[in-house]
Amino acid sequence: MRSLSGHNCRSEKMIVNAKSKRMGKSDTNPPVDLYKHVLPDGCVFIEFVQAIEYGRSGANVFLALKDREGNVIKDSLWRPAAISKAVVL
């Protein structure tokens, strides 16, 4: 059984109006689909797996964003406390 946590609320707001294109799968276990998000103003965000935590419901995958140069978008990162709270042990 697998549970997907996805993005935090801050990064969800960043990509809400984006056109999204599947870029492939992560090299994590479990693998997850990763997307490139292009905003109307041309800004690009690329997903990466920040963390995977295992709980009673399976793997919880926490996604974050990088810009087109590979710089991590700090607001897209999950806080450690939020990750702990999201995982049901």
| pTM score of the predicted model | 0.89
Q: Are 76 and 62 in contact (CB under 8 A)?
A: no
pLDDT in tens, 39-54: 999 999 999 999 999 8
The answer to whether the CB of 29 falls within 8 A of the CB of 17 is no
Q: Report which DSSP code applies to 17.
A: T
For residues 69 and 16, give the distance between their C-alpha atoms in angstroms, rounded to a whole number.
21
- pLDDT the model gives residue 88: 73
Compute the mean pLDDT over every residue in the chain, rounded to the nearest whole number. Answer: 90
What pLDDT is attached to residue 5?
66
Percent of the chain at pLDDT > 70 equals 93
The answer, yes or no, to whether residue 38 has pLDDT greater than 70, is yes
